[in-house]
Chain A
Amino acid sequence: METKYISQGGLAQWFESIVASGKRVYAPVNSRGQVDFKLVKKLSEVADDYIQTTQSIKASVYPKAEVLFTYEKEHGKVNLTDFDPDTIPETVLWKVHPCDAAGFKPLSAIFNWDSADKLHNAHLVKTSVISFSCAKADESCFCTSVNGSPGNTAGSDVQLTVLPDGGAIAEILTPKGEALVALLPSVFEADRGDKKEQCLVDLPARFSLEEVNAKLNKAFNSTVWKEQSERCIGCGACAFVCPTCACFDIQEDVHGSKGRRIRCWDACGFALFTLHTSGHNPREHQSQRWRQRILHKFSYMPDRLSVVGCTGCGRCSRACPVDMNILEHITSIAKQ
């Protein structure tokens, strides 16, 4: 790891050189009253004054719908065309928040749980992450309660901490980060000794993960799930904006003798998600589905995959039409 200084002008030049290198660059853009990651060509397109993008960057490594393979029947034979990792273009994610970058680890833990997931891993290999540490937060943010922080570098290849002069502290964290810096090394100056901590938002932890985990281990039959989920209307907004939710569905798109097998986003909050062919649904009620959501993130994943399934980005709380506030719910479980 190496720390450098980059001036405001240097940042603009570096951004231009990344775009010029032919890599796809995705960055937060403000349009239609929402800030979300979009393909950009110019730094001027990148949004400035916002706390969080509506959607996470999950789609860059786990697309909403992706073709696993295509097939065609011909004279009694089936020709398969497998997913080709070489079709994935080199991608740079610019201005990612640490809570989004931290989402890669839990996502990958799920996708590589039993066997290596070719598609997800192909995206990961081709993706470089330039994160920006957080100088601002809102009441939905709680990264510091889930092993994160406004300056957490996990999942980032380069992290920039913007300084009052418009320049930034550049932490070059991985070989991918070094390769990005190598596109225009001249703009990276010697570290001036700026203090990163002084540029970060102060966000005290709201609960202890160990405490929550211990409570959850005994909470399967608790009445808390029913109490908390009464107002939940069972949509998938929370899951779809989440950086770590990985529930998927496998679908066939068949046209005559040709077809595609598609993996697309699904949500454990949907009634259809666990419905068996027999008609039996092991998670028949919304309260059971809410329990699954919380236990999966805060109990099953830490226990089985050694990673917490929440990065504290707060998107689910912001997106929920009925104010199912995850921080409030987890805090109340911790206090029980």
Chain B
Amino acid sequence: MKKLRDRAVALLDEGTVSLVIGYEEGTKRPRPLFCRNSETARKLIFDSRCFHNLAVYVTKKELVGKERFAVTAPISTLRSILQLYVENQLSEDKLLVLTVDTSGELREFVTFDEISAYVAQFEMKRGEREQEILAKIEGMTREERWKFWMAEMSHCFKCYACRSACPLCYCTKCVVEINRPQWINPWPSPLSNMEWHVNRAMHMVGRCTACGACGDACPVGIPIDLITRKMMEDLAPEFGYIPGQPAKQGNALSSWKLDDREQFIR
């Protein structure tokens, strides 16, 4: 952690980057910190409690500016950065990525290939919470699953924290913000809540890297991260990609093949 902090301080002092996005001690747990000088960077921390996905900030132009910046990234953030790169949202000459590996050593990534090679070492596994809830859902019939999600979604009050916390929800205008015409009714109701969550899930298919930020952000405790995670798990074998790593042959929802084995798409 000290090495990472020292490196961040040096990067700012020598002018290599104009900003380091990292973590500082918060009031309840570590929180995002934006360091534009080395004095602020001395507050940086990096440990296992730092799981907020900082990749959510790297596409915000008003935050990161035009100059080169650095981000401190645990594995979940690295996965999102790779996906953002594949989607042409990031460029190597603007971003420097710092992490601390499992042996406690500071790692500095200049190219996305380096990040890709590093991320490939880590297998995407369900945590205890994910396993518990998903196992329950997988044991349900279709009707039971529908009931489960309808009940969960009934708590949604459309604060869109799930969207705001997601690094891959970088659209400057989200489908719920298109109001001419209003595609999705903005008030919470069983139908409009489901419309939002189905839309969100569909837009995440083959892109979600299961960082869990959406579920973590939900103030009313809906395990919405599990929808996109499960879709990621289910899609990976079908589309030949490794969960948590970008699809090499295009995103599932935005690519198609003439020789697709499904009739409807041909």
**Contact assessment for B32 and A231 in the assembled complex, using a CB-CB cutoff below 8 Å:** yes
Name the CB-closest residue of B to A271.
B177
Across the interface, name the chain B residue whose C-beta is closest to A325. Answer: B27
CA distance A241 to B187 in the complex (A): 16
A234 on interface, CB distance cutoff 8 Å: yes
The reply to whether A265 and B157 contact each other, CB–CB distance below 8 Å, is: yes
For chain A, the bracket of interface size reads 35 or more
Q: Which residue of A lies closest to B62 (CB)?
A: A285
Q: How far is the CB of B22 from chain A (nearest CB, A)?
A: 11
Given known contacts A233-B56, A262-B187, A328-B27, is B179 in contact with A272 (CB within 8 Å)?
yes
* CB–CB A235/B28 < 8 A: no
Render B185-204 as a binary contact track against A, CB cut-off 8 A, 1 for contact. 11111000000000000000
The complex places the Cα of A264 from the Cα of B29 at a distance, in Å, of 33
Residues A33 and B221 in contact in the complex (CB < 8 Å), given A322-B52, A323-B28: yes
Q: Taking the nearest CB of chain A, how far is it from the CB of B226, in angstroms?
A: 14
What CA separation (Å) do A144 and B184 show in the bound complex? 41
Min C-beta distance of A289 to chain B, whole Å:
12
**Do A54 and B52 have beta carbons less than 8 Å apart?**
no
Q: Of B113-121, B159-167, B249-257, which stretch is located at the interface?
A: B159-167
A237-251 contacts to B (CB < 8 Å): 237, 239-241, 249, 251
Contacts of B179 in A (CB 8 A): 272
Is B26 interfacial (CB-CB < 8 Å)? Answer: yes
Q: Indicate if B140 sits at the interface (CB-CB under 8 A).
A: no
B161 touches A236 (CB 8 A): yes
Chain B residues 18-55 with CB under 8 Å of chain A are 26-29, 31-34, 52
Minimum distance in angstroms from B95 CB to a CB of chain A: 18
Is B182 positioned at the interface, with any CB of A under 8 Å from its CB? yes
Closest CB in chain B relative to A77 CB, distance in Å: 26
Residue B104, interface by CB 8 Å: no
* A240 close to B63 (CB less than 8 A): no
A136-186 interface with B by 8 A CB criterion: 139-140
B220 contacts partner chain A, Cβ-Cβ < 8 Å = yes
Q: Does A267 contact B (CB under 8 A)?
A: yes
Please report the C-alpha to C-alpha distance between residue A262 and residue B155 in the assembled complex, in whole angstroms: 19
Task: Say whether B219 contacts A240, CB under 8 Å.
Answer: yes
Find out whether the CB atom of B31 lies under 8 angstroms from the CB atom of A55. no
Which residues of B in the span 218-240 have a Cβ within 8 Å of any Cβ on A?
Answer: 219-221
Take A271-B177, A319-B219, A321-B52 as given contacts and tell me if A235 and B164 are in contact as well, using a CB distance cutoff of 8 Å: yes
User: In this assembly, does A80 line the interface, its C-beta being within 8 Å of a C-beta of chain B?
Assistant: no
Q: For the side of the interface on B, what is the size category? A: 35 or more
**B217 within 8 A of partner (CB):** yes
A304 interfacial contact with B, CB 8 Å: no
Within 8 A of B (CB), among A33-72: 33-34, 36, 54-55, 64-65
Q: Of A241, A285, A322, which contacts B32 at CB under 8 A?
A: A322
B164 near A233 with CB under 8 A, answer yes
- By beta carbon, the residue of chain B nearest A286 is B62
Given contacts A251-B182, A323-B28, contact A240 B164 (CB under 8 A): no
A55 touches B220 (CB 8 A): yes
Q: Is the CB–CB distance between B157 and A64 below 8 Å?
A: yes
A213 contacts the other chain (Cβ, under 8 Å)?
no
Interface centre among B28, B29, B161, B163 (most CB of A within 10 A): B161
Q: Are B220 and A323 in contact (CB under 8 A)?
A: no
Determine if A218 is an interface residue (Cβ-Cβ < 8 Å).
Answer: no
Q: Is A32 on the interface with B (CB-CB < 8 A)?
A: yes
Q: Does A127 contact B (CB under 8 A)?
A: no
Docked Cα-Cα span, A249 to B157, in Å, equals 14
Q: Which residues of B, 87-129, contact A by the 8 Å Cβ criterion?
A: none
In the complex, which residues of chain B have a beta carbon less than 8 angstroms from the beta carbon of A323? 26-29, 31
Residues of A within 8 A of B33 (CB): 231
B188 touches A64 (CB 8 A): yes
Give the contacts of B122-178 with A (CB-CB under 8 A).
Answer: 155, 157-161, 163-165, 177
Set of chain B residues within 8 Å of A319, measured between Cβ atoms:
219
Minimum-distance CB pairs A-B, first 3: A264-B187, A321-B217, A65-B187
Q: A residues within 8 Å of B by Cβ?
A: 32-34, 36, 54-55, 64-65, 139-140, 230-231, 233-237, 239-241, 249, 251, 253, 262, 264-267, 270-272, 285-286, 317, 319, 321-323, 325, 328
Given contacts A236-B158, A266-B186, 20 further A-B contacts (CB under 8 A): A54-B221, A231-B33, A231-B34, A235-B159, A235-B217, A240-B158, A241-B219, A251-B187, A262-B187, A264-B187, A264-B188, A265-B158, A265-B187, A265-B188, A271-B177, A317-B27, A321-B164, A321-B165, A321-B217, A321-B219
The contact sample of 28 A-B pairs, CB cut-off 8 A, is A32-B155, A36-B220, A65-B187, A139-B27, A140-B27, A230-B34, A231-B33, A231-B57, A233-B161, A233-B217, A235-B161, A235-B163, A235-B164, A235-B165, A236-B158, A236-B161, A237-B217, A237-B219, A240-B159, A249-B187, A251-B186, A253-B185, A262-B187, A264-B187, A270-B160, A321-B165, A322-B32, A323-B28
